[in-house]
Amino acid sequence: MRFPSREEAGQELAVRLLEWASSGDLANVTVLALPRGGVPVGAEIARVMAVPLDVLVVRKIGVPGSPEVGIGAIAGDDPPVFDRTGLRALDLSEDELGAEVAQARAELHRREHVYRGGRPAPDVRGHSVVVVDDGLATGITARAALRHVRRGGPLRLTLAVPVCPPRTAAALRDEADDVVALHQPEQLRSVGEWYSDFHPVSDQEVLDALRERHPAG
């Protein structure tokens, strides 16, 4: 079963999370969405639950010569998180990826400035934080995101995605208190195949979603 859109996927996730909130398992909730694709999903969760929405910018670290192949990820000013199995398979070391890390970090800070415009990142201490993306394959970007949020001292840390393989969900349970994945296909060729509408999300769509939740900004 495919999702009609990211928005409808977010509504389905919101129903699940509302059940937890009503039982007292989630309190003082903040939604942090990974741009760009995770923002329409997270915006619907925040709207339905009537809670704050913000972005958590994470950048993939590409393989030298093949930047579309992700071998790691960074969030904030944290150290990079690498796919160790992938590094061994490609016979690469972390030291050989210095240029790729620097490039990813520069783009991360650029996007944070675009999306926040000087507004500080939310203080998650004492909050139940829901980290949202539109789907996961290897989960390396989600791992970097979860570690970054964990450093902020959240009350509870939940990862919520419409679709990801079961092995990825299981691996990320070491990083989050809860992992909510509506569909967990054994074979996931691409996240986009699980959506009828999987258009590229623009910076303007991200900004519009954030303005709805932060009208003063």
Instruction: Say if pTM beats, i.e. exceeds, 0.85.
Output: yes
Interval 67-90 mean pLDDT: 92
Interval 188-197 mean pLDDT: 94
Residue 217 confidence (pLDDT) above 80 = no
Interval 33-39 mean pLDDT: 97
**pLDDT for res 215:** 53
**Mean model confidence pLDDT for the chain:** 93
Strand partners, 163: 183
